[in-house]
Structure 1
Amino acid sequence: MGMLTLVPHNVHDVSVDGHRMLVHVPTTSLFEMDDVSASVLELFRQQGMASAETMRTAFGDRFTPEDLADCVDGFKRLDILRDAGAPDTPITVTEVEDIPLSTIILNVNTGCNLSCTYCYKEDLTSPAKGERMDFDTAKDSFELLLRQAKDRDRVNVVFFGGEPLSNLPLIRQVVEYAEPRAAEVGKTVDFSLTTNATLLTEATVDWLDAHKFALTVSMDGPKALHDVNRRTVGGKGTYDLVAKKVRMLLSRYRSRPVGARVTLTKGVTDVIGIHDHLKYDLGFFEVGFGPATSGPLSTFNLGDAELQAVFDAMKTLGERYVQGALEGRNIGFSNMHQLLTDIAAGTRKTVPCGAGLGMLAVDKGGDLHLCHRFVGSDQPTYGNVRQGIDVKSLGAFIEEAQDRSNYDCRTCRIRSVCAGGCYHESYARSGDPHAPVLHYCDLMRDWVDFGIAAYVRIMQGNPSFIRTHVEPRRLPQ
């Protein structure tokens, strides 16, 4: 063995209750280190480079030559150690020749009956001025989805707005068309919808239940917090109405768990109180949080201190999640669920999400956008549901997203979990959808380390919880 050098950006280690865990950064794989591997890694961390003679001198007779050789060979296979002077592994960019969609998002109405102060939708308008998608556009969108999902057994249609239930007749038409059409080509279709809940009726809930919709309700907590931003067009708080509708919804809905989605803004940052109200007072299955940092009105965006406080509170709630998991209970904290799912699955992202690859959004005219957040923006579109996807342009975007050589992402220890962050967040903050969301980076690294520690503690104390609650949920048949 000649001189070897450490590849520091391919390895990270986290100590958890006496267990020293090695994170293989390129694949997000976790290994528990024994004394040999921990000692070898520490030596290379101190010296940067070492030879067999260096290790013999450093370790003496602590380890057998065979154990040292096995450890070094393992590290070399993982590209944690490599021959000194060897070039860095180039970024592999996979050429995009097709767009294998699994999901289409239909923006069924630009109108909304609420006027939430932090809303990012650039095409949003009042109900009277709302521009509704027609059935022909929706039908063509679904047919595009079926063509692009030729190798998939399941497809998903997401209804978005504005407030999507303000165009319920179209939603009903799409479902009535899509279910038999999907069956005709041997596929199952699932439906998803995010709503502010104000337009729900018992009849609508029962119909959504019959078609097994995955439902998410946008709600920001108890009355004093929810009413800060989530108001009617006339400026009136909506908590009382929404809470009444949610209680009705949760009392009747049986086909799928229903979750709440919370937007955290200046003055609305009580993560623990919001979670407990939505989970235990109202009865949502789970609660997820999205901090606002790049909205169009900076007055609502969280500053650095507030963002740090939010992440600290999320870790406090995460500790409660871990304690519940050790006791076999799921407290319904979806951010933690997603983090543990990524860790358990060994997530290896080369792009931030499925936007533009497994998922596209359709506006009222049929134009294709990266995702629902870009509808109404000045960013390019990528074809139309009638003429098809502009694979050349969209492929170029996805290929550019894979190459992080111009950013610090290349050597970041969570690059396979984050991959640079949300395209729209980057676009809203800097005008460049490929620029990393740098204001999140240190917080996200700390959050992922917290998740690794949580995963290890749960696996040590109650591994069945991971199999029961964390592994990706199966959709109902």
Structure 2
Amino acid sequence: MTTLFVNRHSFHDVKLPERRMLFHIPSSGLFELDEVGGSLLDFLKENDRVSLDGVRERFDGRVTASDLAQTFENFRELSILCDAPAGPDLGLRTEIRSFPISTVVLNVNTGCNLSCTYCYKEDLDVPSKGRRMNFDTACKSIELLLAEGAVHDRINVIFFGGEPLTNLALIEQVVDYTERRCAEEGKHVDFSMTTNATLLTEDIVDYLDRHRFGLSISMDGPEAVHNRRRLTVGGKGTYSVVASKARMLLERYRSKPVGVRVTMTAGYTDVPAIHRHLKGELGFFEVGFAPATSGPLTAFNLNADELQAVFDGMKALGRAYRDAALRGENNGFSNMHQLMSDLYEGRKKALPCGAGVGLLAVDHKGDLNLCHRFTGSDMPRFGNVDEGIAKEALGAFLEKATDRADKGCSTCRIRNLCAGGCYHESYAHFGDPLSPTYHYCDLMRDWVDFGIEIYTEILVKNPGFFRQHLSTRSIQL
């Protein structure tokens, strides 16, 4: 029989306490291996090429010929066995000239009433010097979104800053304009906002509720933790006011669940304790954690040991997520929930996120940025609201982003879940938005393996959890 080549870049073997899973890298699919599958996979890992006759000889008398032949054919269908040698995954390698964006981020004011020590925003100003987007620029942004995103029935408008509520008057104008234009075009619109919560009032909360905003609050945990980094311009801690505003918000808000985003910085790595406070004591629906490793002030960045401690804490919280899931509950740990969604849907990413393809950010001048993190940076802009998207330049950038040649991603087992990592993280850490986030690689591979273990246990013991709790959510930043 013809010899077949073993494609080592197509599978990852995950051995769990009670079962063995094959992670199919090209499709992000998971398959449970029976004894025949596991034995055959072990044999394939010892050889570069095999034939069915050779495999039969190796397993003669140990398994039935029909079971062996079926498993062999299954591996061939998954391209684990190939007619020719398989090289590294070089990426999508296709021309990108279509940008059907569904989301625009409006940087409505560079001014912020806080002075968080780790803030990445290069265009951040104190309130008195904030540069505000005007209504004309905002309207042109919406028209650009409607034109380029004409294929979508639903669009998303995200308000960002600085602190976006420092330009509430513009937000109200944009909401009215966008709702009217979407009604004319027969489209639906979702509004979102990330806010530090300090400027919330009952009237503002009720307004946001009427227009069904998706809200994400920036808050870093209990008082001692939050007040280390999230300070007023005058240098005072903000926990008491943020916690008070958050309680008021959570009591009044009805249209959508409210999440909270935590930035993990040097000096404190207790992920479960932060989650207990924000979810259990304050009552946020979900809590997401973002480790700081590439901020402009290195004193606030997690070192290697602290980053490991954060991931260890995330595993502890991930096991609590599993325990809750087995009871049919979602404990609101959004990092784990996102990974469960990726595995459940078999997500395959050529790019790390929708920046540039599904989303663009507009700064106060009307320039188009890859995402909200790049406003004010030295990164090239990709057009403006007057002239439109610079499609040649943006396409060239994204084509390079999909190119995995000469990158560790080409042979990485999580390449289709990670796709190289956050552009801005790479830009801040390496000075190159197209460099993979190599400082995260080992931790992320371990995190995905851990996720596969959690996912498998939930799938076996309570598969209804995924049908009940995994659904598309509004975009949050």
Task: Structure 2 unaligned segments of length 5 or more: list them.
Answer: none
Q: When the two structures are superposed, what TM-score results if normalisation uses the length of structure 2?
A: 0.97
- Deviation at residue 88 of structure 1 after TM alignment: 6.1
Cα distance 1:469–1:85, how it changes in 2: closer, same or farther (>3 A)?
A: closer
Aligned to 1:431: 431
Aligned to 1:9: 9
* Aligned residue type for 1:421: G
Cα distance 1:365–1:42, how it changes in 2: closer, same or farther (>3 A)?
A: same
Cα distance in 2 for residues equivalent to 1:271 and 1:33: 34
- Deviation at residue 446 of structure 1 after TM alignment: 0.6
Aligned to 1:111: 111
Aligned to 1:226: 226
- Give runs of aligned pairs for residues 152-231 of structure 1, distance below 5 A: 152-231=152-231
Aligned to 1:278: 278
- Quick check: 1:71 aligned with 2:71? yes
- Deviation at residue 61 of structure 1 after TM alignment: 2.5
Q: For the Cα contact (< 8 Å) 2:28–2:416, is it kept in 1?
A: yes
- Deviation at residue 350 of structure 1 after TM alignment: 0.4
* Aligned residue type for 2:180: P
Cα distance in 1 for residues equivalent to 2:15 and 2:145: 45
Secondary structure of residue in 2 paired with 1:22: strand
Q: For the Cα contact (< 8 Å) 1:260–1:284, is it kept in 2?
A: yes
Q: For the Cα contact (< 8 Å) 2:7–2:85, is it kept in 1?
A: no
Cα distance in 2 for residues equivalent to 1:302 and 1:474: 29
Cα distance in 1 for residues equivalent to 2:377 and 2:240: 33
* Aligned residue type for 1:52: L
* Aligned residue type for 1:275: H
Secondary structure of residue in 1 paired with 2:240: helix
Cα distance 1:66–1:379, how it changes in 2: closer, same or farther (>3 A)?
A: same
Secondary structure of residue in 2 paired with 1:355: coil
- More displaced, 153-162 or 42-51? 42-51
Cα distance 1:328–1:354, how it changes in 2: closer, same or farther (>3 A)?
A: same
Cα distance in 2 for residues equivalent to 1:164 and 1:474: 18
Deviations 1:347-375 (A, max 9, x none): 10001000010000000111000000000
* Aligned residue type for 1:145: L
* Aligned residue type for 2:225: L
Q: For the Cα contact (< 8 Å) 2:52–2:72, is it kept in 1?
A: no
Aligned to 2:35: 35
- Deviation at residue 127 of structure 1 after TM alignment: 0.1
Secondary structure of residue in 1 paired with 2:177: helix
- Deviation at residue 73 of structure 1 after TM alignment: 2.3
- Quick check: 1:83 aligned with 2:61? no
* Aligned residue type for 1:238: T
Cα distance 1:90–1:297, how it changes in 2: closer, same or farther (>3 A)?
A: closer
Aligned to 1:406: 406
Cα distance in 2 for residues equivalent to 1:158 and 1:365: 17
Aligned to 1:467: 467
Secondary structure of residue in 1 paired with 2:216: strand
- Deviation at residue 443 of structure 1 after TM alignment: 0.4
Secondary structure of residue in 1 paired with 2:460: helix
Cα distance in 2 for residues equivalent to 1:281 and 1:47: 55
Root mean square deviation, CA, Å: 1.4
Cα distance in 1 for residues equivalent to 2:63 and 2:89: 31
Secondary structure of residue in 2 paired with 1:47: coil
- Give runs of aligned pairs for residues 239-388 of structure 1, distance below 5 A: 239-388=239-388
Deviations 1:193-225 (A, max 9, x none): 000000000000000000000000000001100
Q: Across the two proteins, how many residue pairs are aligned to each other?
A: 475
- Quick check: 1:129 aligned with 2:129? yes
Task: Structure 1 unaligned segments of length 5 or more: list them.
Answer: none
Secondary structure of residue in 2 paired with 1:379: coil
Cα distance 1:427–1:63, how it changes in 2: closer, same or farther (>3 A)?
A: same
Percent sequence identity over aligned pairs? 59
Deviations 1:417-442 (A, max 9, x none): 00000000000001111101111001
- More displaced, 327-336 or 187-196? 327-336
Aligned to 2:49: 49
- Deviation at residue 408 of structure 1 after TM alignment: 0.8
- Deviation at residue 268 of structure 1 after TM alignment: 2.8
Cα distance in 2 for residues equivalent to 1:294 and 1:134: 32
